[in-house]
Structure 1
Amino acid sequence: MITFYPGPSKVYPVVEHYLKQAFDEGVLSINHRSQTCMQITRSAIDLLHQKLHIPADYTIYFVSSATEVWEIIAQSLTQRHSLHLYNGAFGDKWAEYAGRILPQVSRVFYDYEQSIEEILLPDSDADVVCLTHNETSNGTHLKQWNTILQKYPEALIAVDATSSMAGVELDWQSADIWFASVQKCFGLPAGMAVMVCSPKALRHAEIIGDRKYYNSLLFMNDNFKKYQTHYTPNVLEIYLLSKILEQIPDISETSARIEAQAKEWYDFFEEHFDADLTNGGVKPLIQIPALRSDTVLAIEAQPAVVKHIKQIMEAQGITLGNGYGAWKDSTFRIANFPAISEADRLALREQLLLHLPNKAVVTV
């Protein structure tokens, strides 16, 4: 299967081997409080620190999904209210979900072709400022947020890095809470998320003192000190994560490769295809290079053209990502995750050149 769907996306091929190995070793049947399971959990946590350069004093937790982290942040880390700065559908969903739990949620929506460093920031006493590192719905990416750190020095900075963690190198100390599901850049099946917290985040949790829920952060932290989870976990997923982390390169190497591949993709569309959408053309939705995601490309076209492209690619055994949110009908998306091979990328480029009018053909 060749898939460029931006999550769940392609898993590393070696996952097949590790699935069988997990079965043969009895991993699927072990007690989650056993020494064996604790060792698997410890191995995965240690490797995350090592391979992704997560600071030693930042704590790591395994939860069911990135959506669950939204809930943990609202319940365990927010005393007054949260401030959400976003430009797309997933940032909006996070704010909407937080509003179901918290009495006050502040929102700032900014244009998807505007830098977050340029927006007018409101005065706020919010406990948590919530950002989307890589907005999967429109293919934008946050490079930095220095103005936010300066404007809200006391607040926790929470970052949804679902489509970028393990694919690009993160500046961990620029935020206090990071989280990502594993079905994207980690190259694993869906079913688990990684949450990373700074010492400042844990201090805030202790001040709030929330222990009312099964996934209260303090309760989670008590368990993870013993390399145990706060509930019966997806032991197989933790095992697979540990095995994959043993195999993959250091994040600095992976990040450089993903960035280079992203540039190749953007150059490919700009060099080969007519950007005039009224003439059946295609182009990257985001026209400002500094705002473009390296891991999820949103490609814009007329809705009929988008539908046509997806149908043709499906007939060739290639799955493209659907558009999402406001761009559901007018874009298709291409995942540029580490598990996707060069052979897959070449196959997609070949089919696009065969089935879309390109500049060379138009010139003739």
Structure 2
Amino acid sequence: MITFYPGPSKVYDEVGQYLQEAVDSGVISANHRSAAFMQMLEDAIRNLKTKLNVPDAYEVYFVSSATECWEIIAESLISDGSLHIYNGAFGEKWMEYTQKLTGSARPYSFETNNEPLLKDEIQPARNEIICVTHNETSNGTALTAEFLNTIHDQSDNIIAVDATSSMAGVELPWLSADVWYGSVQKCFGLPSGMGVMIVSPKAVERAIAIGNRAHYNSLLFIRDNFLKFQTPYTPNTLGIYLMGKVMQQVASIETVAQKTLERAQDWYSFLPKHGYQLLVENEAVRSKTVVALRDTKERIASIKKAALQEGIVLGNGYGKDKETSFRIANFPAITDMEIQTLKDFLVFFSSK
């Protein structure tokens, strides 16, 4: 079975080998206060920062999921409120969950084919955290680096970014934001069950100023442990081991991102030529890692059913486009041969 589902998605082929190595090494049976575990964690963080070009001063934490990061941000970094800028289901869910926790989340939504404009109504208040979704997995859109740079340059606010379906697949403008988070089951090419949170010195200062230590997963408690290459609770040891191995294996993010871009450009050229309608018409806001297509409810169902019969899993639509779209993951672990297999199927189906 070949999967193009946009998360959990395909893992790197080498992961099977790494799983056996993890068992043989005994490290996944080591307790999380042992020297063996601490060395493994240190290696995983170093490999990640090196391959993704994360600034030296930024800190990396491994948590349970990207969704947990919503809670960490709300409880540890928000004092006066948050401004959420989004155009899809996951950005909206982040806002709604933050509102439940803080009661002070302010939404600003924009349309799928638009770029958000820094108008008066979305200017943040002094201490509001600005929350944006870099790559909206639900509809295949993405914010430009220029937009993030503009927000950073025009405000002194803490900026938090959901990069769940773009981290490790494209180059990210790290210095334009203070909190980046994602999950490993997408562009990292790893099994699900772990999140990555990357924070700037400015975000750490805000957490210290707020001083919230009332929660087991407060950012300060997490940080206290990670500075010692430990974790506050029993971690996903296997996930950390696999992260270190995969980050050691992959090319630099510049190389990975170039391949992601070339594949995305190819998909966006190929699909319309064969009668498929792109969900995102505005080329400037199309995601490079999640390609979304639209059609009638009946035809979408037929495409997915026929693909499955050929051993190909396509991504369902999501949110308001659930029944009238499907999504194709363009993640680094997917091979050229698998992409060609999907292309051959799509050509065949369009000719019926």
Following superposition, the deviation at residue 49 of structure 1 comes to: 1.1
Normalising by structure 2, what TM-score? 0.97
Following superposition, the deviation at residue 148 of structure 1 comes to: 2.4
Quote the residue 1:148 is aligned against: 151
Quote the residue 2:343 is aligned against: 349
Choose which of 201, 204, 208 in structure 1 pairs with 2:203. 201
Following superposition, the deviation at residue 27 of structure 1 comes to: 2.2
Cα separation, partners in 2 of 1:356 and 1:22, compared to 1, 3 Å = same
Quote the residue 2:253 is aligned against: 251
Quote the residue 1:237 is aligned against: 239
> Residues of 2 paired with 1:121 and 1:2: CA distance?
45
> Residues of 2 paired with 1:221 and 1:67: CA distance?
18
Quote the residue 2:40 is aligned against: 40
Whether contact under 8 Å (1:165, 1:180) holds in the other structure is yes
Whether contact under 8 Å (2:161, 2:177) holds in the other structure is yes
Whether contact under 8 Å (2:274, 2:350) holds in the other structure is no
Quote the residue 1:278 is aligned against: none
Bigger drift between 333-342 and 138-147 goes to: 138-147
Normalising by structure 1, what TM-score? 0.94
> Residues of 1 paired with 2:152 and 2:67: CA distance?
24
Whether contact under 8 Å (2:51, 2:252) holds in the other structure is yes
Whether contact under 8 Å (1:110, 1:119) holds in the other structure is no
Counterpart AA for 2:110:
Y
> Residues of 1 paired with 2:336 and 2:16: CA distance?
19
After superposition, residues 99-110 of structure 1 pair within 5 angstroms as 99-110=99-110
> Residues of 2 paired with 1:256 and 1:45: CA distance?
23
- Identity over the aligned pairs, expressed in percent? 49
CA RMSD of aligned residues (A): 1.2
Quote the residue 1:279 is aligned against: none
After superposition, residues 331-342 of structure 1 pair within 5 angstroms as 331-342=325-336
Cα separation, partners in 2 of 1:258 and 1:119, compared to 1, 3 Å = farther
- Alignment deviations for residues 21-42 of structure 1 (CA, whole Å, 9 cap, x no partner): 1111112211111000000100
Quote the residue 1:4 is aligned against: 4
Counterpart AA for 1:38:
M
In structure 1, the residue corresponding to 2:124 is in which secondary structure?
coil
Answering whether residue 30 of structure 2 is matched by residue 57 of structure 1, we say no
Quote the residue 1:14 is aligned against: 14
Quote the residue 1:116 is aligned against: 116
Following superposition, the deviation at residue 127 of structure 1 comes to: 2.6
- Alignment deviations for residues 193-240 of structure 1 (CA, whole Å, 9 cap, x no partner): 110000000010111001111111111111111011111100000000
> Residues of 1 paired with 2:3 and 2:174: CA distance?
30
Following superposition, the deviation at residue 75 of structure 1 comes to: 0.3
Gaps of 5+ in 1: 274-281, 359-364
> Residues of 2 paired with 1:296 and 1:119: CA distance?
28
Gaps of 5+ in 2: none
Whether contact under 8 Å (2:124, 2:130) holds in the other structure is no
Question: How many pairs does the alignment contain?
Answer: 349
- Alignment deviations for residues 75-94 of structure 1 (CA, whole Å, 9 cap, x no partner): 00000111100000000000
Whether contact under 8 Å (1:141, 1:293) holds in the other structure is yes
